[in-house]
Amino acid sequence: MFGSVRNRSPPPLSPSPSQHQQKLPVNQTSTRSDLSPTFILASWHLSPTSTEAISGKKPSKVSTLAPPSNPVKPSSVSSHLAMVELKQRILTSLSKLSDRDTYQIAVEELEKTIQTLSPESFPMLLNCLFDSSNDPKQAVKKESLRLLSVLCNCHGELAASHLTKIVAHIVKRLKDADSGVKDACRDSIGALSGQYLKGESGGNMVGLFVKPLFEAMGEQNKGVQSGASTCMAKMVECASDPPLPAFQKLCPRICKLLNNQNFMAKASLLPVVASLSQVGAIAPQSLEALQLSIHECLGSTDWATRKAAADSLSALALHSSNLIADRASSTITILEGCRFDRMKPVRDSMTEALQLWKKIAGKGEDGAADDLKALSHDGDNAQSAESSEKNGSKDPSAGDKKTQTSDSVSEGKGGSIIDKAVVILKKKSPALTDRELNPEFFQKLETRGLCPAMQCNAMSGLLGAMQCMPFK
């Protein structure tokens, strides 16, 4: 047994990898000194590279981290820095709007920025204007709303894709209690309407304006309802080439709001009817319902609503006469009953509307009656003059009045207090014109050299005494 161990051949100096992967038996020993336990243990923990080197194979490639797929280019970094710098400049200019001293400078800077704006910077500037419209300062809010229309005017194609968001933001600002902000909203809507509502292509854009406005009219806030109504009227007025089919669809919804008891801004909505009539967008099938709604507004307790209803009827008579010629009698009857309103502005509007509707219906009773009254009055005056000439008894008081008045005016130019008193006496006591005044009395007062105050007191006493004297 021991002889077999001695006769075994020694292991090779460079073992193969297969030999390293196999465990040596426990009872197997070696007579060589270099096969120590340390060497055996080290062979078990050799790395693959060292193993390949020992085995004589070519070393494999070491795995390294892959480079990023989208490396940051220097141009993108510079553009990002330019964007940040532009935003900071815009915010600085917007903050200058709150100060009177820097207001005009800020407006010029912002307008110049808008004109030189790149397409990539458009959304950023739009968001800045949206945020600044919430500023507590009125000037900043008003100018931000105006700059929205300027931005759309300079970059119409870019702004078209953001138009829904822009209009919704403007309508949202109608909740502001400041009337100046509401006026700015109205003007912005008008500017956008003039730019985008053109011809048949503008018909598709009408819904972008009308939808948020009608939603605002549904809120139980009179200020918001009134602001939305004025914006709609401005939208119709400013449309450069009105899309009539789209505008004609507004009439039924307007009638529904006018008949709604919860709608509180009828005085502001009725001008929309006048604007639609001016552009020729009153649909014949909607005229009857619209006319009935206006008739109900004529009996409103709010005088502003009554006046707006009369003004809308005047607009219908001026611009839609071909549609109302056969339906004028009922409107004339109602206007006849409302023409004596207790408010003078309402009376004037009612009278104007009544004259226009009577002219359309071919009825000129009022004008004919006035002419007849004038003719009868002139005839009476002529008859009285002829009768007085025939009788030869002219009224002497009339001639005396004319001569005395002219004399008093000429004497009054002298500027003396006595002359003025004589004029007052002649004006206040026409019953004494047939009596001759004593000029010597007034001359004595003048020669006595009394001071003006004493002369005034003397003349006032004289006038009072003469007025109290009974004359037969």
> What 3-state DSSP class applies to 162?
coil
Q: What is the pLDDT along the chain (472 residues), one digit of tens a residue?
A: 444 444 455 555 444 444 444 444 444 444 444 444 444 444 444 444 444 444 454 444 444 545 555 555 556 777 788 888 999 999 999 999 999 999 999 999 999 999 999 989 999 999 999 999 888 899 999 999 999 999 999 998 889 999 999 999 999 999 999 999 999 999 999 999 999 998 777 778 899 999 999 999 999 999 999 999 999 999 999 988 888 889 999 999 999 999 999 899 999 999 999 999 999 999 888 888 999 999 999 999 999 999 999 999 999 999 988 888 888 888 999 999 998 999 999 999 999 999 999 998 885 444 444 433 433 444 444 444 444 444 444 444 444 444 444 444 444 444 455 555 555 555 544 444 444 556 566 566 555 555 555 555 556 665 555 555 554 4
Q: List, in order of start, the domains of the chain with CATH numbers.
A: 102-242 (1.25.10.10), 249-366 (1.25.40), 423-472 (no CATH)
Pairwise CA distance, residues 276 & 254, whole Å? 11
Pairwise CA distance, residues 100 & 102, whole Å? 6
Backbone angles phi, psi at 415, to 5 degrees: 90, 0
Q: What is the pLDDT of residues 60-91, one digit of tens each?
A: 444 454 555 555 555 677 778 888 899 999 99
pLDDT value for 453: 52
Tokens of 332: 């004339």
Pairwise CA distance, residues 60 & 43, whole Å? 20
In order of 381, 383, 390, 394, the CA distances from 387 in angstroms are 10, 6, 5, 10
pLDDT value for 26: 41
pLDDT value for 436: 53
The candidate with the shortest Cα–Cα distance to 350, out of 368, 334, 366, 369, is 334
pLDDT value for 78: 78
